[in-house]
Structure 1
Amino acid sequence: MAMAAARRALLIHLRVPVARPAADTAAAGTVTVGARRLLSSITEETKGSFLDKGEVADRVVSVVKNFQKVEPAKVTPTAHFQKDLGLDSLDTVEVVMAFEEEFGFEIPDNEAEKIDSIKTAVDFIASHPQAK
């Protein structure tokens, strides 16, 4: 009991007064400048957070076609790096690094290990919010 009273007394003294907008401003439905900035940053962040899957597919195919150890004619949207394109594990790592460079974000190692085809690369990149 005494502990709760001491806590309550301490919290009352630590409270910081918050400036509230005038009643007429709130009634009119206008948003303060700070709130407007917060809302605009949230909407800008979420608005462009994911890339179009078709655009990602085109860019991924282009990156793979430009990889020096790949025959461009063999590259298809469903091509597997090792089975269809003849890439070894080191080549696959280099291709994933090229994806990182193309799309401007770092792919974590545990996710990079799962990328073994153009389809898995497109699915991962298109679902990643940091891809540009």
Structure 2
Amino acid sequence: MRALSPAFGLLMIAAIAGGVDGPAFGLVAAAVVAVAVGVRWAVGATVAVVCVVALVVLTDPPALVAALAGLAATAYLVTRHVAEASVSAPTMLGALALSSVATFAAVVPADVAWLPAAAPFAAVVVFAVVARPFLPPD
């Protein structure tokens, strides 16, 4: 899986680079260089992802484009930083599922005034449910 990490890094950059012009193009170049450096040193992968996050902030792409870049960034970081045996189907399926939920939340309009106030509590509940099997028994 580690051999696929540069492909995921370039996919992450390509997803965002379509709407980039002007000074933000420097961040695209920096991200490409960071992916190249990331082949040898893992810190390059992290720098590449930070560059793409900055591009997302600067260019404000559509939700589906940002989701594709985020999913590719997740796959890139997992395949680059995690040991070969640890990259598993549940890891990738979890990333895909969470990206799908985030994309759905960004695309579907919600006119519920109290929803932003409830979101942090829902996130804590989801985290507690997911972390429950890893906690020590009472």
Pairwise same-fold verdict (TM > 0.5): no
If the length of structure 2 is used for normalisation, what is the TM-score?
0.28
If the length of structure 1 is used for normalisation, what is the TM-score?
0.29
| Higher helix content, 1 or 2 | 2
Higher Rg: 1
